[in-house]
Structure 1
């Protein structure tokens, strides 16, 4: 089995949004919160800036995720020297492949090559299943933040509490 982490292309945008729809359907089944949509412009910008990725398994898109290098509204004063991972979505046919571990492996290599000190991510503070999963993948839980300002972030960030995770590279 060949696994590749590569940049998404403009031609992948419909696939990315199909994956987001699958994620929302899954979130509605397993949790009391779900994503509330993303702007096409956001994803187009991420693709243009090489910040939207896909994981291929034997050439087939199995997972998508995005990164950013600044997350001030979420991380506040700690927002520095990090690659922030967002919107990991695994296609249902590939659940159980431990793609978060693949993303961590990719992020560690990326961080090392680019002199970045942290790999960070967030999730809903009350999602116990994801909290346990992320720590089992090697992330350290570093606290909770309640969103007071969310302008510029997707709608589901309004007024929520997030658990924060990081790996020191």
Structure 2
């Protein structure tokens, strides 16, 4: 499998990924991702170079967004002063589920964050998706807190405010990395 930067040509596939994931989550009883994601916002993140695609023999198997930008209102000023990278929209195609591609992507992201000088790999997850939260905990993340207020509209309830982090650390990747971002050669191993 390879990992590479998403291009504007991937927009349709990424939107379909989200719809597929929302339908699967709905069948499990979750309300996560029921609202369609705005295509124009997704295109902006693709163009910023922070969206990555995993391809398996030409088939898109997964996607992850990895950025230095935190969503407003989640992390404290002190936390934001620590070098961090943030995982968003990690999605694996149902055709590729059960292979822990998501775990491999988290390791890839942690390595990339470490090589960029970050101390932390952080994320926010759906506040009512206990299975997703357990998934991240099983992959070495620690729950920091759950932010329930201060949503994007009028400061209302926040649906994705379960915050977790793990140290950014070097990791071997199972992907052939074709991403465009330069990778510094040094990354301090865990002591």
Fold match (TM-score > 0.5)? yes
SS of match in other structure, 1:146: coil
Q: For 1:126 and 1:48, locate their aligned partners in 2 and report how far apart those are by CA, in whole Å.
A: 31
1:37 equivalent in alignment to 2:36: yes
Q: For 1:99 and 1:141, locate their aligned partners in 2 and report how far apart those are by CA, in whole Å.
A: 22
- In structure 2, the partner of 1:79 is 80
More strand by share: 1
Contact 1:31/1:127, CA 8 A, preserved across alignment: no
Alpha-carbon distance, 1:73 to partner: 2.1
- In structure 2, the partner of 1:58 is 57
- In structure 2, the partner of 1:127 is 129
Task: Give the aligned CA root-mean-square deviation in angstroms.
Answer: 1.8
Alpha-carbon distance, 1:158 to partner: 5.2
Contact 1:53/1:64, CA 8 A, preserved across alignment: yes
Contact 1:5/1:106, CA 8 A, preserved across alignment: no
TM (norm. structure 1) is 0.87
SS of match in other structure, 2:76: helix
- Match 1:26 to one of 24, 29, 33: 24
Q: For this pair of structures, how many residues does the alignment match?
A: 162
Contact 2:144/2:165, CA 8 A, preserved across alignment: yes
Q: For 2:125 and 2:107, locate their aligned partners in 1 and report how far apart those are by CA, in whole Å.
A: 20
* Structure 1, unpaired ranges of 5+: 152-156
Q: Which 4+ residue blocks in structure 1 deviate beyond 6 angstroms?
A: none
Alpha-carbon distance, 1:94 to partner: 0.6
Q: For 1:16 and 1:124, locate their aligned partners in 2 and report how far apart those are by CA, in whole Å.
A: 19
- In structure 2, the partner of 1:70 is 69
More helix by share: 1
Alpha-carbon distance, 1:23 to partner: 1.1
- In structure 2, the partner of 1:168 is 167
Contact 1:100/1:137, CA 8 A, preserved across alignment: no
1:109-155 deviation digits (Å, cap 9, x = unpaired): 2112211111111112232211111111111111111131415xxxx
Q: For 1:114 and 1:164, locate their aligned partners in 2 and report how far apart those are by CA, in whole Å.
A: 21
